[in-house]
Amino acid sequence: MILELKQTPNPLLKKKAEEVMKVDEEIKILVKDMLETMYANQGVGLAAPQVGVSKRVVVLDVGSGPKVFINPKILKKKGKEISEEGCLSVPGVFLKLKRAKEVIVEALDEEGNKFTVEAEGLLARCLQQEVDHLNGILILDRISLLEKLKRMIFRK
């Protein structure tokens, strides 16, 4: 089922999501629905708060098939790079943001099994943005007040 995307300034997007205590049928259905919603909106990543669910669940597909991260934790960051990002909850806005070039993330899969992934490139960037969502941080929170004012004035 395609879920409704929450867009800024929805207050749920600014709240820290709750940890998943048990990967049960409800979480598995949520994952399936989130993937369907992400694909229907041509996204590459989606966090549960973006569909109105305050749970630490992320789905991604950066071109190598769907990936599920439940209770993801970034264990290590390495390097820096600047690249453009968009967000399904902030439609029409694309920002050049500095993020870690590589990350190591630990999470549970959709069966509740713990795994660790070393990611770089688009996968690393997406993981960082989606973990931000779980912590109530939007891409707009990653730019300066001056940049926000410029965008308002010049409508970029």
Q: What's residue 151's pLDDT?
A: 65
CATH numbers and ranges of domains, the chain: 11-154 (3.90.45.10)
Q: What's residue 144's pLDDT?
A: 73
Query: Omega of the bond prior to 9 within 30 degrees of 0, cis?
Result: yes
pTM: 0.92
Q: What's residue 148's pLDDT?
A: 67
User: For 134, what's the count of Cα atoms within 13 Å in the CB-facing half-sphere?
Assistant: 24
User: Would you call 130 a catalytic residue per the annotation?
Assistant: yes
- State the average pLDDT over residues 118-131: 97
- pLDDT tens for 56-77 read 999 999 999 999 999 999 999 9
